């Protein structure tokens, strides 16, 4: 049997260019082969820089999906016919779902075999109505994969009813093309994507149950989190639809209703747009891992207090074998014939069909009957022995298999190394129900296939996509939805509307950013002193103090620290910036948290984080290898200095963007609080170590190296000189580092800022955590005051060391109590009897 040749999307049967491709082809010809390849590289770079890949430093630079600079065009009339056919198909699938999860008349009449219902893992018995019809639509968002057959007609390859993916790809592909190949986007006026998302957003508001009357409905999107392969899409869609992006741990069911847990309290969720497998939604009723679900969620859905779209059981309609019955079900359920045909599909549970197929198995694609994620097998491509084995498996369990006609997909021009080259394409179109009828996205997503890819099953990890363009016929032919009637929003300003999980991530993002910066300052200070060929006693004293700080920061081991004057420390410190070293490890934590917070960071801030992390990773990779450092100590020191400056520039950029771009509350508050707590703890720890100068009580000059380091590590040298214009003295140095509220690198500034933020969060000026921060601030002031009033300031400074160690521990206690109060949501610890008051001065 001779296989039909695939149809060419750009060229008609007579060898001419199809009319709707004319303008685009002219624009492509002006670019030329080399320029087109360059634009393709720019597109790849765009997705990397925008964070679309969700990659952490050190991972591959290849984007998770690629966009061809050459779009796929559909004629307006042809697209409209496809949209009408898919709208009818979506209505049919809705009717099937309503019957399967309701009266099950199709099963009773023998129009649908029980083996395709009860054996389907996506059929959720808990979603079936006890009697009658389920309330509301079960199918709200629908997509279909289509192939143009050699006869020119379109065939449906697969239905996507559980939670169709690809809409973020559509948005980002269109945006990326407009940015990198504007010559093409200017060639034709295109139908816009915006109205579809406006319709979708309004439809979600109208889906709210009657209990939401009198207030604005709460809409949230449930995601599996950053571990989900579609995380970036969830971020894009939640922003475009203006709904909260939440994980299972952010939600709770109370008294039969669904709520979002925030720092302010529980907020009702009326509509939940799910992006999880239906079997993971509720650990009390599902049969899969309960790690992402919400206990009691399906019970709340059945009670009508929350509407879940698409319905958790909607994945049933993705069963490949269902396509074999749709043509027969359409007249029964809709009263009309199916307008858009499937690729011919046959269920092998029927004996007559099975005999027909097994007689000529080589011409069919073989698939699992109820699992649409499994790739089909091209029986004709199998060796004789493998084909016989497949036939044996079919005979053993025929109801588990379905076959479909093997059709070659049409080809469309794609950018390749040698210019334009034809590649097979599969088209995905999207529709949403606005409450009355199905509305199609005016465009879609095309996937260019590799040679052995049959286009069925789950999409592969590496995807080569094409934006789908539908040219306008007349200006203004596409109109947006009518303005929805939405209750006026009350004015709210505050910091408690974010989930505790998000606050926790912001807090630790601030802490890891500060740890990264502190490590860089220590490395820079060390490199400048190690560069001295013959250090004197003062420089050696400073190096020993720095070594203690380096050990505390996990940048140096204690054994090397004891021999800092005799070993090549620069080579040892370089280990901290190599792969799997301390600085790459800290940067990895920053990247992990930035990925967790992708939906909460502004585009500019995420771009700065993403680009900065990649630049730092390149700087780490540029550090000399071990075999090179042994020959050239100077190069090692230069590398340390270069990496340190790069880290400090990155930290300053992020801090500046946070200060200027983030609203003063919510995520910004916890990000800043994390930095203040971490910096306060680092200051106390550094002072405790740099002031350890033996013999300073008898010879106060020996204290000078520690005081000099205290100013340098807190970036306060210039301020001290401008104020005092004299030699270093303990009281002025400690005042600047410990007690000056105007010094952003000093301890008092951190504690005062933490106190004010905690008071804002606690809602009272005298809350226990803000009081703890205030007591720490008073202790810092008291230490400076005692040194200033002492007859021997050197002796007074040495007596501060245990108090500084206690202060470091109390800042850690403050951090733990913040976590208990707002992240773990645990009550404050209580003792069984009267607890003694904390008295840090007793250590003096």
* For residue 310, cis peptide bond before it (omega within 30 degrees of 0): yes
DSSP, residue by residue, 599-647? TTS-HHHHHHHHHHHHHHHHHHHTSPPHHHHTT-HHHHHHHHHHHHHHH
Q: In this structure, are 618 and 698 located in the same domain?
A: no
Both 503 and 637 in one domain: the answer is yes
Same domain, 524 and 572: yes
136 in any annotated domain: no
CB 250 within 8 A of CB 501: yes
Q: Are 563 and 571 in contact (CB under 8 A)?
A: no
Closest CA to 651 of 639, 643, 640: 643
Where is pLDDT greater, at 517 or 638?
Answer: 517
Q: How far apart are CA 664 and CA 396, in angstroms?
A: 65
48 close to 61: Cβ distance less than 8 angstroms? yes
- In a shared domain, residues 518 and 643: yes
Strands 244-246 and 219-222 turn out to be: parallel
Same domain? For 678 and 629 the reply is: no
pLDDT digits (tens, 9 = 90+) for 432-478: 999 999 999 999 999 998 755 555 555 444 468 999 999 987 555 54
Residues ≥6 apart with Cβ < 8 Å to 324 = 345, 346, 347, 402
- Provide the domain count of the chain: 3
**Cβ contact 407:416 at 8 Å:** no
pLDDT higher at 726 or 712: 712
Phi, psi of 144 (to 5 degrees): -140, 145
Q: Are residues 645 and 766 in the same domain?
A: no
Q: What pLDDT band is residue 838 in, cutting at 50, 70 and 90?
A: very low
Report d(CA 284, CA 62) in Å as an integer.
Answer: 40
| Residues 235 and 502 sit within 8 Å (Cβ to Cβ) | no
SS3 (DSSP) at 377: strand
Q: What is the mean pLDDT of residues 163-174?
A: 91
Predicted confidence band at 835 (pLDDT cuts at 50, 70, 90)? very low
Per-residue pLDDT tens for 334-370?
Answer: 999 999 999 899 999 999 999 999 988 988 999 999 9
β-pair partners for 36: none
- With cut-offs at 50, 70 and 90, classify the pLDDT of residue 535: low
Q: Closest Cα to residue 91, out of 326, 334, 265?
A: 334
Give the torsion sign (CA, 208, 212, 218, 222): negative
Query: Over 70: is that where the pLDDT of 723 sits?
Result: yes
Task: Say if residues 65 and 462 touch (Cβ distance below 8 Å).
Answer: yes
Specify the 3-state DSSP secondary structure of 764.
coil
Q: DSSP 3-state assignment of 70?
A: coil
Interacting residues of 388 by C-beta distance below 8 A, sequence separation 6+: none
Structure tokens at 206: 């109208």
Is 476 part of any domain? no
Residue 842: inside a domain: no
Domain end among 639, 662, 685: 662
Region of residue 535 (phi > 0: left; psi between -120 and 50: alpha; otherwise: beta):
beta
Cα–chain center distance at 555: 30
Domain membership of residue 568 (yes or no) is yes
Q: Are residues 776 and 669 part of one domain?
A: yes
Distance CA 508, CA 503 (A): 9
Task: Give the domain extent around 594.
Answer: 499-662
Pairing status of strand 411-416 against strand 72-73 = unpaired
For residue 226, give both structure tokens: 């950053």
**Given this model, what pLDDT does residue 473 score?**
74
Percent of the chain with pLDDT over 70: 86
Residue after which a domain boundary falls, among 254, 270, 305: 305
Of the listed ranges 44-53, 521-530, 835-844, the one predicted with least confidence: 835-844
**What sign for the dihedral angle of Cα 177, 182, 187, 192?**
positive
pTM of the model: 0.81
The pair of structure tokens assigned to 233 is 């899409």
Task: Give the model's confidence band at 740: pLDDT under 50 very low, under 70 low, under 90 confident, else very high.
Answer: very high
Measured CA to CA, the distance from residue 562 to residue 548 in angstroms comes to 9
User: Is 277 inside any structural domain?
Assistant: yes
Q: Which residues pair with 156 in a beta bridge?
A: 146, 342
Mean pLDDT of 185-214: 87
Q: Would 523 be classed as within a structural domain?
A: yes
The answer to whether residues 677 and 771 belong to one domain is yes
The pLDDT of residue 831 is above 50: no
User: Could you tell me the CATH number of the domain that includes residue 286?
Assistant: 3.40.50.11290
411-416/438-440 β-pairing: unpaired
Same domain, yes or no, for 681 and 796?
A: yes
How far is Cα 542 from Cα 372, in angstroms, rounded to an integer? 67
Tokens of 458: 């789950």
Strand-strand pairing, 463-469 and 411-416: unpaired
Considering the domain boundaries, does residue 115 fall inside one?
A: no
Same structural domain for residues 591 and 706? no
Give residue for tokens 């280990």: 575
For 55-66, how does the pLDDT look when each residue is reduced to its tens digit (9 = 90+)?
Answer: 333 344 445 678
Cα 6 to chain centroid distance, Å, stands at 39
Q: Is 12 among the domain residues?
A: no
Question: Helix-strand-coil percent breakdown of the chain, rounded to 5?
Answer: 50, 10, 35
Q: What does the pLDDT look like over 749-794, one tens digit per residue? A: 999 999 999 998 887 667 899 999 999 999 999 999 999 999 999 8
In the predicted structure, residue 830 carries a pLDDT above the cut 60: no
Q: Are residues 293 and 218 in the same domain?
A: yes
SS3 for 254-267, per residue?
ECCEEEEEECCEEE
Same domain? For 507 and 634 the reply is yes
Of 610, 627, 662, the one marking the end of a domain is: 662
């Amino acid at each position: 049997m001779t296989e039909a040749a695939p149809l060419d999307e750009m060229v008609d049967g007579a060898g001419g260019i199809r009319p709707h491709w004319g303008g685009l082809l002219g624009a492509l010809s002006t670019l030329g082969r080399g320029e087109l390849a360059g634009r393709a590289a720019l597109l790849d770079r765009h997705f990397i820089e925008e964070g679309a890949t969700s990659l952490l430093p050190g991972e591959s630079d290849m984007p998770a999906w690629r966009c061809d600079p050459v779009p796929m065009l559909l004629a307006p009339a042809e697209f409209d016919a496809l949209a009408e056919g898919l709208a009818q198909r979506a209505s049919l699938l809705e009717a099937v779902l309503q019957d399967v999860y309701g009266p099950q008349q199709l099963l009773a009449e023998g129009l649908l075999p029980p083996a395709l219902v009860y054996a389907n893992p996506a059929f959720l018995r808990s979603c079936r109505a006890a009697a009658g019809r389920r309330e509301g639509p079960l199918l709200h968002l629908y997509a279909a994969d289509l192939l143009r057959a050699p006869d020119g007609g379109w065939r449906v390859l697969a239905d996507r009813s559980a939670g169709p993916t690809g809409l973020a790809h559509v948005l980002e592909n269109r945006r990326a093309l407009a940015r990198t190949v504007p010559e093409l986007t200017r060639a034709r006026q295109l139908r816009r994507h915006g109205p579809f998302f406006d319709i979708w957003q309004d439809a979600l508001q109208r889906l709210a149950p009657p209990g939401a009357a009198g207030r604005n409905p709460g809409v949230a999107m449930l995601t599996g989190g950053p571990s989900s392969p579609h995380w970036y899409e969830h971020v894009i869609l939640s922003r475009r639809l203006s709904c909260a992006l939440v994980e299972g741990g952010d939600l709770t069911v109370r008294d039969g209703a669904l709520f979002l847990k925030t720092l302010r309290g529980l907020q009702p969720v009326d509509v939940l747009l799910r992006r999880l497998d239906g079997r993971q939604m509720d650990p009390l009723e599902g049969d899969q891992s309960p790690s992402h679900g919400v206990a009691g969620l399906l019970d709340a859905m059945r009670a009508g207090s929350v509407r879940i779209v698409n319905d958790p059981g909607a994945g049933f309609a993705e069963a490949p074998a269902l396509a074999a019955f749709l043509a027969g079900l359409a007249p029964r359920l809709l009263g009309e014939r199916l307008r858009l045909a499937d690729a011919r599909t046959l269920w092998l549970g029927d004996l007559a069909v099975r005999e027909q197929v097994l007689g000529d198995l080589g011409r069919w694609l073989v698939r699992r009957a109820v699992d649409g994620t499994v790739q089909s097998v091209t029986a004709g491509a199998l060796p004789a022995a493998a084909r016989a084995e497949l036939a044996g498996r079919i005979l053993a369990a025929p109801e588990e298999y379905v076959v479909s006609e093997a059709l070659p997909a049409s080809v469309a021009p794609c950018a390749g190394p040698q210019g334009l080259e034809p590649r097979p394409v599969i088209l995905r179109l999207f529709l949403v129900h606005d409450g009355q009828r199905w509305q199609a996205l005016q465009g879609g997503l095309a996937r260019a296939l590799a040679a052995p890819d049959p286009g069925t099953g789950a999409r592969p990890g590496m995807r080569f996509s094409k934006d789908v363009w539908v040219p306008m016929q007349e200006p203004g032919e596409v109109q947006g939805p009518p303005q929805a009637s939405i209750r006026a929003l009350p004015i709210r300003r505050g910091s408690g509307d974010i989930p505790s999980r998000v606050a926790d991530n912001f807090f630790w993002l601030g802490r890891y950013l500060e740890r990264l910066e502190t490590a860089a300052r220590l490395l820079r200070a060390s490199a400048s002193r190690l560069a001295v060929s013959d250090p004197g006693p003062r420089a050696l004293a400073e190096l020993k103090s720095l070594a203690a700080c380096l050990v505390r920061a996990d940048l140096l081991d204690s054994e090397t620290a004891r021999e800092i004057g005799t070993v090549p420390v620069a080579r040892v410190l370089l280990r901290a910036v190599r792969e799997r070293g301390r600085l790459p490890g800290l940067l990895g934590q920053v990247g992990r948290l930035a990925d967790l917070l992708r939906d909460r960071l502004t585009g500019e801030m995420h771009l700065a984080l993403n680009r900065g992390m990649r630049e730092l990773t390149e700087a780490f990779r540029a550090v000399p290898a071990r075999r090179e450092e042994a020959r050239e100590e100077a190069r090692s020191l230069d590398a340390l200095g270069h990496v340190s400056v790069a880290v400090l520039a990155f930290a300053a950029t992020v801090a500046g963007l946070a200060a200027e771009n983030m609203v003063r509350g919510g995520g910004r508050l916890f990000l800043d609080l994390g930095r203040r707590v971490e910096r306060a703890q680092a200051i106390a720890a550094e002072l405790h170590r740099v002031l350890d100068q033996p013999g300073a009580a008898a010879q106060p000059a020996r204290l000078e190296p520690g005081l000099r380091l205290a100013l340098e590590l807190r970036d306060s040298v210039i301020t001290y000189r401008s104020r005092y214009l004299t030699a270093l003295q303990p009281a002025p140095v400690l005042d600047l580092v410990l007690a000056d509220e105007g010094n952003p690198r000093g301890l008092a500034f951190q504690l005062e800022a933490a106190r004010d933020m905690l008071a804002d969060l606690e809602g009272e000026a005298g809350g226990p955590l803000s009081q703890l921060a205030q007591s720490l601030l008073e202790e810092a002031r008291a230490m400076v005051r005692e040194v200033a009033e002492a007859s021997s300031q050197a002796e007074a400074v040495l007596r501060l060391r245990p108090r500084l160690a206690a202060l470091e521990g109390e800042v850690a206690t403050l951090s733990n109590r913040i976590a208990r109060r707002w992240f773990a949501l645990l009550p404050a610890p209580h003792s069984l009897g009267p607890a003694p008051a904390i008295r840090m001065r007793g250590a003096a």
